[in-house]
A and B are shown apart, each in its own frame.
Chain A
């Protein structure tokens, strides 16, 4: 076994290194749904994984728990996870139903999903479903597990938790169901909570409440959070860091303030300018959507995936996959504009030979 690189003891919790995920089908060529994902999750911090539908963000999140469908596999790359700051485990190398993986799942890393109605079993009470999680990982009796369940339900703001524990999911409102889901995910005090679009199926007021709740619980439990969303408003509200995905690549990652203030990748810039702004009539501008459609992963350019829609594409873009290029403290992007001397000049991007000006686009 190759020695794994030790991780910064109190900082890094999980590091994805060069992970790709391949879907195979008996009739067609393999599809590389996720091409090259690198990111790190830090204790107590939230990383938002942003991108449009089908860009591979949910698949990436599921890969961390090894919950991919049978036809998907992690082809190469490492997912290094270190719960107690010691020797990290490579999750990508574990068997998906192995004991080691199962003791991480739910216990050290847990997950909440988009649709709490369909993600909870319709024929078991929420109390049963949470008790099960506790009894699975902690060696306790049903009775004390239920005590903990009631405590958790109370903590996530469910009124009358003792009675509610005996309710079935269909007897609760959408917001309460998602709270119950969160209570379940927190049952074993995980180090990492993966939230896969947890507010998408909820109405806006409930959304805000759930985000507040997640933030408060994160502060209390000191866990890291991987928050998957396509909503940049939600990112601004909850994330410390953001990673932007496009068609299986992480194209840009950094501190949420840096990325929002001075996005370096043309895709991130396009995303930002396609957010409608509330302004007075005289100052209104036409919304600036991204041209074209996302190509299917089958037709993805060999080089940068965004080439077909990028307004600044030039010679190397379609054939050479751009490397990670630093664009500030802990901020980097994969774009040839950042490295090539002969690239077209684009305002606001840190290009070689152009003096850096602090962008004041925002």
Chain B
């Protein structure tokens, strides 16, 4: 087990390094750089630009250096915890992203929790009572949940909430608590705001998870070991929960790893619509303005999250499935 962990950690570092290289290459791909788009926006506004200032800025940010040198400057800074400076915000990237990434992780984490708590029991029920009324309702509800785009659901929810309760949904905190440290009041305030985005974000995932759980469990329910469990005299539900459900969970556990990054990227539109201070809108903005250090840092961190998530799901999988733990090398 320890050598497994050790090998995985080395692979992780290499993967993250590769991710950083590709991430940097991608944000360099569009023609021009931040200064060209900066000049374009300035001249569009009718301002005059002093070529010497531009040259000085180019020099300072090293924008004329070869790609590899720029890359090593950047990665060298990251290793020391310095993600560079955002052109757009004129502030260190680290100051900008941690709060927003934290919000993202918190929000998506809650959404994942809700997804699992809602979807697993429904999926199990739908499989065990296949073709029953409950199964059909779960199926119909599931497909509706899958079919409605998240942002549309968010808009409808905000509209209805405003019409019937006269309140606007949006943001994650009340304005007066925006910058305060975490305490009970802030947590309650957060929950009062967060339920709506969590609901919106969890809907599609829940629907998908119900379908996957149902399909996995249907495969397992007909296996001979389920008959064995019944033949021991176990009550029906206990036999099902202890044996086939346990086996049917394995494929789901292996998806934990990429749930988080998928949710972050799919929640961009929702975050914009609901005015959420998460990483998604920041990433979108930084990509359009070619704010390369900010975009690079976010992409990099998403990559790291994926890699860590995959490691966690592998460890859980090895923990719950002995076939993986003791399987061939």
- Bound-state CA distance A236–B232 (Å) is 29
The reply to whether A132 and B232 contact each other, CB–CB distance below 8 Å, is: yes
Shortest distance between the CB of A126 and any CB in chain B (Å):
11
Shortest distance between the CB of B239 and any CB in chain A (Å):
10
The reply to whether A102 and B228 contact each other, CB–CB distance below 8 Å, is: no
The reply to whether A113 and B224 contact each other, CB–CB distance below 8 Å, is: yes
Residue A119 at the chain B interface, CB threshold 8 Å: yes
- Bound-state CA distance A349–B271 (Å) is 87
B-facing mask of A99-139, CB < 8 A → 1, else 0? 00011111100110101001111111100000011001100
Number of B residues contacting the other chain (C-beta, 8 Å)? 21
Shortest distance between the CB of B170 and any CB in chain A (Å):
45
Partner of A136, one of B227, B228, B232: B232
Partner of B233, one of A118, A121, A123, A136: A136
- Bound-state CA distance A168–B326 (Å) is 9
Residue A67 at the chain B interface, CB threshold 8 Å: yes
- Bound-state CA distance A122–B320 (Å) is 11
Interface residues of B in 210-269 (CB under 8 A from A): 223-225, 227-236, 243, 246-247
The reply to whether B323 and A105 contact each other, CB–CB distance below 8 Å, is: no
Shortest distance between the CB of B57 and any CB in chain A (Å):
60
Residue A171 at the chain B interface, CB threshold 8 Å: yes
The reply to whether A102 and B246 contact each other, CB–CB distance below 8 Å, is: no
The reply to whether A97 and B235 contact each other, CB–CB distance below 8 Å, is: yes
Partner of A119, one of B228, B247, B322, B323: B228
A118-B225 CB under 8 A given contacts A168-B322, A170-B323: yes
Q: SS class of chain B's interface: helix, strand, loop or mixed?
A: helix
The reply to whether B231 and A105 contact each other, CB–CB distance below 8 Å, is: yes
Partner of B231, one of A67, A118, A124, A170: A67
Residue A251 at the chain B interface, CB threshold 8 Å: no
- Bound-state CA distance A115–B228 (Å) is 11
- Bound-state CA distance A106–B238 (Å) is 15
Q: Which of B233, B247, B326 has the most CB of A within 10 A?
A: B233
The reply to whether B322 and A123 contact each other, CB–CB distance below 8 Å, is: yes
Q: Which of B225, B234, B243, B321 has the most CB of A within 10 A?
A: B225
Q: Inside 8 A of A113's CB, which chain B residues have their CB?
A: 224, 227-228
The reply to whether A106 and B232 contact each other, CB–CB distance below 8 Å, is: yes
A118-B224 CB under 8 A given contacts A168-B323, A168-B326, A170-B323: yes
Residue A65 at the chain B interface, CB threshold 8 Å: yes
The 4 closest A-B pairs by CB, nearest first: A106-B233, A105-B233, A106-B232, A119-B224
Residues of B within 8 A of A (CB): 223-225, 227-236, 243, 246-247, 320-323, 326
Mind listing 20 A-B residue pairs with CB under 8 Å?
Answer: A65-B231, A67-B227, A97-B235, A103-B233, A104-B233, A105-B230, A106-B231, A110-B232, A113-B227, A113-B228, A118-B224, A121-B228, A121-B247, A122-B323, A123-B247, A123-B320, A123-B322, A133-B232, A168-B322, A168-B326
Interface contacts beyond A121-B229, A121-B243, A133-B233: sample of 11 additional A-B pairs, CB < 8 Å, sorted by A: A65-B231, A105-B232, A111-B231, A113-B224, A115-B224, A118-B225, A121-B228, A121-B246, A123-B247, A123-B322, A171-B326
